Amino acid sequence: MTVYVLSMMSIDDPETYRKYTDRTPPIVASYGGKFLARGGKVTTIEGEPYQDRLVVLEFPSEQAVNDWLADPAYQEAVVFRHASSQARILMIEADNNTLDPDPKL
C-alpha cells in the first residue's frame, strides 16, 4: 500500500542542513520513494500561518519507509538534519478510503 511521508522542518543552520538534502535523493530513490514536493512555497489556507520547510514523499509501502530510515547511508545523513533543524515527520497510508472516510476520526 502506498504511503506518504510529510516532513515539516524549522531550519536553524541552512549550510549544515544542505549536507542532509544533498545526500537524501538517491537514498530515497533506492527504496522506491520519490519527492512529490520539496521545500516549495506553502500557502496556509486555514489556521496558523506555516512558514517552515515542508517536504512530501511517496513510498510504495510502510516497509520501504522503515528500510529507508534504517539505511546506514541515511543514518549518516540524518545527523546533519538533527544538527541543523527541528522536525515533525508523519507517515500516512493511502488507504483508498477517500470516498467514504471513517467518521470516527
Q: What is the mean pLDDT of residues 76-102?
A: 88
Predicted TM-score (pTM) of the model is 0.87
- To which residue does cell 511521508 refer? 5
The SS3 call for residue 88 is strand
Residue 99 has pLDDT above 70, yes or no: no
Dist. CA 88–CA 7, nearest whole Å: 6
Helix (H) or strand (E) holding 30, with range, is: helix 24-30
What domains sit in the chain, N to C, each tagged with a CATH number?
3-93 (3.30.70.100)
Specify the pLDDT at position 25.
Answer: 97
Tens of pLDDT along 19-54?
999 999 999 999 999 999 999 999 999 999 999 999
Q: What is the pLDDT of residue 95?
A: 75
